[in-house]
A and B are shown apart, each in its own frame.
Chain A
Amino acid sequence: MILPFTDRTWLWLAAALYLAGFIQGSIALFKRGRPAGGATYALILLGYLAQLAGLGLRGRAVGGCPLGNAFELYQFTAWSAITLYLVVGATFRLSLLGYFTACLASTVTLVSLLFPSWDAGQRVRIFGHNPWIELHAALAVFSYGVFALLALTSLMFLLRHFSLKSKRLGGWFSFLPSIRDLDHMGVRLLAAGAAILGFAVAVGAVHWARPETVVNLEKVFVTVAVAGAAFALLLLRLRGILLARRFAVACLILYAAALLSLVTVEPGRGRVPARPDPVAR
């Protein structure tokens, strides 16, 4: 045991650190007119480690990837987005992306923590002993994290677009990346998200195709619809049909749809209300 913390304590700590990153970034932006950069990145990194500890404890308690209820799904999505940000943000030195990521991560994690009912139906070994279906679920939710980052870069694209069209380039607009870089990043993130979700669906399909499996059609439909929407969006972008501002707006809608679909997916499972290992929590 690292510290006598329950999983939720770690996750509260993570949310607090993300929130601190967001507040600190806001102060830097609005008082000093520039993003906090390294400080925001450090706070997000600490939050990420705390979240990793929390999800790790939860994973041990439930005997698998913690994707058993809405709370866990939102936590895992936020964690996935942060994982990507830590790579992308460090590689491209995107200090404003850190600010937006801290905002999104603190919102998602705090909201999920503030509704205890979202975490009421925790179940153990929801994937049975089938590693494929666990992989399917983990990849699918990870792809939603990619879409979260896509939504943030799309938001930044819209801000940069607004600044260029309205000819307001000073202040913190000056810290946004170039519009072409944001567009390229959006296309790559969409391609990555679509590919991961597509792979997740393919892995799941192997399981669903078994005659003994009882398929939740609602869940399958929603997951395939999100994956289909991501591929359709990518195709339209690559064919030059959906571009620039409209593409960015479509990416934001895709993320919103993916986030909402988690609510649909979650109740589709059979609930086991037990909390088998209270010590670990």
Chain B
Amino acid sequence: MSNGHLFVIGATHHRTPIEVRERLSLDADGTAALRDQLAALPGLREFTVLSTCNRIEFYGVAAGPEVAEHVGGAFCRRQNFDPVEFARFRLDLRDAAALQHLVEVAAGLDSQMLGETEIFGQMKQAYAAAQAAGNTGPVLNRAFQKAFQAAKQVRTQTAITAGQVSVANVAVELAGTIFGGLSDARILLLGAGEIGEKTAKAFQSRGAASLTVASRRLERAMELATALGASALPFEQREPRLAEFDIVVCATSAPEIILPGSAVRAAMARRPARPLFLIDQALPRDIDPAVAELENVFLYNLDDLARIAEENRAAREAETLKGRAIAGEKARALWQQVAAQVTAPSSPPASEPARTSASTSVPETR
């Protein structure tokens, strides 16, 4: 009887604190060197390394039960990490459970920000690199390809990607419900702090037509405007020129209201048919709350945005059970297809030759 099995071992954000993940993280060179070592491990038929900021995972097909231990040992030696400590955090799944994990990771069900889609691209890169290096064979090739298909199915059949879960992206999504596309939306950022900058960047990334920055310190506004490829506006010009903008992001630390109702009413009188979206991310608030009553004016403050983000996150959470059920079903079906190959006494990889090194380290963006 054979002891061949499919495994995933590693450490993820679920059980591993960030200080430990920092010590376990692999850069491109480190990954390449480790891959060379793993390629030489006896009994390891196929493998793929996935390294992101939230996880380091090794997917493999092994001839015996001790091989996964050897993979973990090789990794710990390279990282100069105590194997006993690694065992405390270690993820260790076999066969159908490993496949289910693979599908769940690809679908974003296992991500820190539930339903995020970046992991899908990162997995594709990791798999492509392993495949190019000849580290994968018939089992992992099928497993990854089917996992990608299943992940797409999870995304389309559930709402785990619905709604934005960060405050900046919620603001951008809201702008979409008001303006449709942002290609002709002109944005004014009041305040040159970090929060406003994040929101402004989110708008830029969605193709906003123009961005103008105004700050009580003009030099700081010019500095940020230059960094963002935007234009700067003297702070005192904010009221007379308000009518020129469609979206106003306020994130100053001013102790008093900087956009009074009279200024907004005057601006709307000049552009009555065009909606005005006001985002007040400041505390104390920058915009007179009474302007929310004005026709064609939509005012959202920090609490509103945070509440929507939280609702979206909760809605995604509610979909995970459905997503996991789909992932489980797909993983079981997939296991039926590959089990015979995995447990066969000897199953050389399709691309048996030189398991040369290729980096699967992925830029950490999550």
Query: Does B51 make an interface contact (CB < 8 A)?
Result: no
Task: Using CB atoms and an 8 Å cutoff, list the residues of chain B in contact with chain A.
Answer: 159, 162-163, 174, 176-180, 272-275, 292, 295-296, 298, 300, 304, 307-308, 311-312, 315
Query: Does A244 make an interface contact (CB < 8 A)?
Result: yes
Rounded to whole angstroms, the CA-CA distance of A165 and B278 in the bound complex is: 12
Rounded to whole angstroms, the CA-CA distance of A181 and B178 in the bound complex is: 8
Rounded to whole angstroms, the CA-CA distance of A246 and B159 in the bound complex is: 35
A245 touches B295 (CB 8 A): yes
Rounded to whole angstroms, the CA-CA distance of A177 and B174 in the bound complex is: 12
Query: Among A176, A178, A245, which residue has its beta carbon within 8 angstroms of that of B179?
Result: A178
Closest to B300 in A: A167
Rounded to whole angstroms, the CA-CA distance of A178 and B175 in the bound complex is: 9
Q: A179-B275, A240-B272, A243-B295 are in contact. Are A167 and B304 (CB under 8 A)?
A: yes
13 new A-B contacts at CB < 8 Å, known A243-B295, A243-B296: A165-B292, A165-B298, A170-B311, A170-B315, A176-B177, A177-B180, A178-B178, A179-B177, A180-B180, A240-B273, A243-B272, A244-B275, A244-B296
A171 to chain B, nearest CB (A): 9
Task: Using CB atoms and an 8 Å cutoff, list the residues of chain A in contact with chain B.
Answer: 33, 160, 163-165, 167, 169-170, 174, 176-181, 183, 240, 243-246
Closest to A184 in B: B180
Chain A hits for B296, CB < 8 A:
243-244
A183 to chain B, nearest CB (A): 8
Closest to B295 in A: A244
Chain A hits for B178, CB < 8 A:
164, 178-180
Closest to B298 in A: A164
Query: Among A169, A176, A183, A244, which residue has its beta carbon within 8 angstroms of that of B174?
Result: A169
B148 to chain A, nearest CB (A): 24
Query: Among A164, A174, A178, which residue has its beta carbon within 8 angstroms of that of B180?
Result: A178
A37 to chain B, nearest CB (A): 13
Q: A165-B298, A174-B162, A243-B295 are in contact. Are A160 and B272 (CB under 8 A)?
A: no
B159 to chain A, nearest CB (A): 7
Chain A hits for B295, CB < 8 A:
243-246
Rounded to whole angstroms, the CA-CA distance of A240 and B274 in the bound complex is: 10
Rounded to whole angstroms, the CA-CA distance of A133 and B296 in the bound complex is: 43
The 10 closest A-B pairs by CB, nearest first: A178-B180, A181-B180, A240-B272, A244-B296, A244-B295, A164-B298, A180-B179, A179-B178, A167-B304, A240-B273
Chain A hits for B298, CB < 8 A:
164-165
B308 touches A167 (CB 8 A): yes
Closest to B177 in A: A178
B267 to chain A, nearest CB (A): 14
B300 to chain A, nearest CB (A): 7
B177 touches A164 (CB 8 A): yes
> Can you name 11 A-B residue pairings with CB atoms under 8 Å?
A33-B159, A167-B304, A167-B307, A169-B177, A174-B162, A177-B180, A178-B177, A179-B178, A180-B178, A181-B180, A240-B272
B277 to chain A, nearest CB (A): 9
